[in-house]
Structure 1
Amino acid sequence: MSVQLIIGLGNPGEQYSNTRHNAGVWFLDAVARQFGGVLKAEKKFLGAVATVSVAGTSVKLLAPSTYMNDSGRSAAALINFYQIDPEKVLVAHDELDLEPGIARIKTGGGLAGHNGLKDISRSLSGFQGYHRLRVGIGRPSSSGGVANYVLKPPGKTERADIDEALHRSLAVLPDMVSGAWEAAMLALHTRYDKRESI
Structure 2
Amino acid sequence: MIVGLSNPKLEYHNTRHNVGSWYVYALAESFCNILQEDKKFFGFTSSFIMESKYIRLLIPNIFMNINGQSIFKMASFYNISLNEILVVHDDLELKPGIIKLKYSYGHNGHNGLRNIISVFNKKINFYRLRIGIGRPKNKDQISSYVLSNPNGEEKILIQKSIKESIKENSYFIFSK
TM-score (norm 1): 0.84
Counterpart of 1:126 in structure 2 is 122
* Aligned partner letter, 2:88: A
Matched-pair contact (CA < 8 Å) for 1:89–1:131: yes
Counterpart of 1:33 in structure 2 is 29
Counterpart of 2:86 in structure 1 is 90
| Cα distance in structure 2, aligned partners of 1:152 and 1:128 | 32
Instruction: State the number of aligned residues.
Output: 175
| Cα distance in structure 1, aligned partners of 2:47 and 2:139 | 42
* Aligned partner letter, 1:90: L
Counterpart of 2:113 in structure 1 is 117
| Cα distance in structure 2, aligned partners of 1:29 and 1:169 | 13
Matched-pair contact (CA < 8 Å) for 2:6–2:20: yes
Deviation sequence 1:76-106 (CA, Å, 0-9, x none): 1000000012211000000000000100000
Q: Please tell me whether residue 11 in structure 1 is matched to residue 24 in structure 2.
A: no
Identity of aligned residues (%): 37
* Aligned partner letter, 1:69: N
Matched-pair contact (CA < 8 Å) for 1:36–1:52: no
Deviation sequence 1:168-190 (CA, Å, 0-9, x none): 210112211102xxxxxxxxxxx
* Shift, 1:127, TM fit: 3.3
Find the residue that maps to 1:140 and give its secondary structure: coil
Counterpart of 1:148 in structure 2 is 144
Q: Please tell me whether residue 138 in structure 1 is matched to residue 141 in structure 2.
A: no
Matched-pair contact (CA < 8 Å) for 1:35–1:53: no
Matched-pair contact (CA < 8 Å) for 1:94–1:134: yes
* Shift, 1:166, TM fit: 0.5
* Aligned partner letter, 2:175: S
Match of 2:49 among 53, 63, 69: 53
| Cα distance in structure 1, aligned partners of 2:123 and 2:31 | 29
TM-score (norm 2): 0.94
Q: Please tell me whether residue 104 in structure 1 is matched to residue 100 in structure 2.
A: yes
* Shift, 1:8, TM fit: 0.4
Counterpart of 2:170 in structure 1 is 173
Q: Relative to structure 1, is the Cα distance of residues 119 and 143 closer, same or farther in structure 2, using a 3 angstrom cutoff?
A: closer
User: Please, which runs of 5 or more residues in structure 2 have no aligned partner?
Assistant: none
More displaced 10-residue stretch of structure 1: 8-17 or 92-101? 8-17
Matched-pair contact (CA < 8 Å) for 1:35–1:54: no
